[in-house]
Amino acid sequence: MISSLGATLNPEALINSWQLVVAGSFTVALSGTVAWVVGRVFFRRPEDRRAFRPAGLAITFANSAGFPLLLMNALCEQDYVRSDYNDDAVECFTQATGMIFIYVIVWQMYFFGWGFYALGHDDTLERSLTGQRTRTQTPSTKTCAAARATSSTPSARQEHGGIGRINAAESVAIDIEACTGEENSGEGTTNAGGMGGGGDVSEGDRWTGFKERVSRVLVSPNIISVTIGVVIAMIAPLQEMLFDNPRSILRPLGAALQTVGTPEVAVSTLVMAGSLAQVPTVAAASAAATQGGQADDDGAVRRWRRFRILVGFLHVVCRLIVVPAIGFTVFWVARTRSSVMGENRLMHLLLLIEFAMPSAAFVIVSLNQLRMPATAGFMARLYLWQYGASMLTITAWTALAVHLVY
């Protein structure tokens, strides 16, 4: 990130690319709105809506760097694209790279300012996949009080052994642990999100949650890298010493940054593929989700299968068809009915391509970072279907984008 931004951007490019900032914000807002609407329409049960949240966030955040870089590298080899840059394919791709990373800055701000927090805010799907009770399936207040009262009696502290049995003390301990876990979970939700399930929240709690979210954004390695890269791009002498002047004392540092940053896309893909090892089968996941005797096994299996198929279908259709269709329509209206889009055809082509990208693999990486391996594996399975379908949809949308722009 540091090497890409620092080596390709310049102050003039940042000033003249305000459309990328607006378009990046619009794309995230449009994708998020589509995900929210389909979540409300297709999932009636609150727990299903919460379980759909990881897929909804994957729909919201597209692969805004890796795939566009590959596509623009190939498109700049075409005569009709590079003609705007004196038939210089290298200059065309250099300009496209700078635009992509300006776009990625917007993407990073939204993802680490909101998306990453939202992924870790609700672990309903993770608990279902691993067989744990969700936060709503907890003992009542009376049960918790009874468990605490029982734990204080001498009989509860006596051990009643035997193979295959749980003694009374252990049973009470489990009840208290469930009660304590719920209380801690509620407190964590209040502190993190500024709102809990008990009604009013004090201003102090809201301010604490806000400060926590801002802190997460500021200390994120990606945001730090973006900031350093933009600072380097804004200081021309420093940019030259790091990336252009072979005799500069800082040139080895710049070369090291470029070497380390080159395999980023491949590493992210490998992490996503590695998550497949943790994907549960339909039967195992269904059995885990039904622990607690809430429903019969056959009904739970059918419900889980319907949920999985529906989520996979929406993940493909919304990200690869619905969002690009709306985005292309808005672009065509803005370009033909007004002059707000300007005359930079390469930027127009890039904006249309960004609409058509599949979900960002970084969502899988983030789920692993948040210690949600089962959710990461579940989403990785959905990504395989989506990325396979994207081979066709990206080709079709790119052809349409070239036709509209050139």
Would you call 189 exposed, middle or buried from its count of C-beta atoms within 10 A (0-12, 13-18, 19+)? middle
Same domain for 185 and 252?
no
Q: Does a structural domain hold residue 166?
A: yes
Residues in the chain where the model's pLDDT stays below 50 = 133-143, 145-201, 280-295
Q: Does a structural domain hold residue 214?
A: no
Q: Does a structural domain hold residue 215?
A: no
d(CA 101, CA 291): 46
Tell me which residue of 115, 98, 113, 346 sits closest to 229, measured CA to CA.
Answer: 98
Residue 246 falls in which region: left (phi positive, over 0), alpha (psi -120 to 50) or beta: alpha
Contact 56, 319 (CB under 8 A): no
**Which domain, by its residues, includes 377?**
2-133+220-405
Q: Does a structural domain hold residue 344?
A: yes
Same domain for 40 and 101?
yes
Same domain for 154 and 23?
no
Give residue 305's pLDDT: 84
Give residue 268's pLDDT: 61
Contact 297, 364 (CB under 8 A): no
Residue in the structure block whose two tokens are 């989506």: 386
Q: Does a structural domain hold residue 348?
A: yes
Same domain for 314 and 176?
no
Number of domains into which the chain is organized: 2
Same domain for 78 and 103?
yes
Same domain for 233 and 151?
no
Residue 131 falls in which region: left (phi positive, over 0), alpha (psi -120 to 50) or beta: left
Contact 191, 208 (CB under 8 A): yes
Same domain for 233 and 312?
yes
Give residue 243's pLDDT: 84
Contact 34, 322 (CB under 8 A): yes
Give residue 154's pLDDT: 45
Q: Does a structural domain hold residue 293?
A: yes
d(CA 72, CA 347): 11
CATH classification at residue 22: 1.20.1530
Same domain for 293 and 350?
yes
Q: Does a structural domain hold residue 213?
A: no
Last residue of a domain, one of 208, 238, 258: 208
Same domain for 333 and 371?
yes
Give residue 251's pLDDT: 87
Last residue of a domain, one of 183, 208, 233: 208
Same domain for 272 and 295?
yes
Give residue 134's pLDDT: 44
Q: Does a structural domain hold residue 196?
A: yes
Would you call 359 exposed, middle or buried from its count of C-beta atoms within 10 A (0-12, 13-18, 19+)? buried
From residue 369, alpha-carbon distances to 39, 53, 216, 373, 376 in Å are 25, 17, 13, 9, 10
Give residue 4's pLDDT: 63
Identity of residue 238:
L
d(CA 253, CA 255): 5
Give residue 278's pLDDT: 52
The torsion angle over the Cα atoms of residues 187, 190, 192 and 194, rounded to 10 degrees, is: -160
Last residue of a domain, one of 165, 188, 208: 208
C-alpha count within 13 angstroms, C-beta hemisphere, residue 121: 22
Contact 24, 103 (CB under 8 A): yes
Same domain for 118 and 263?
yes
- pLDDT tens-digit map of 122-149: 788 888 777 654 444 444 444 454 444 4
Tell me which residue of 81, 105, 75 sits closest to 8, measured CA to CA.
Answer: 105
Report the predicted TM-score, pTM, of the whole model to 2 decimal places: 0.71
Same domain for 253 and 331?
yes
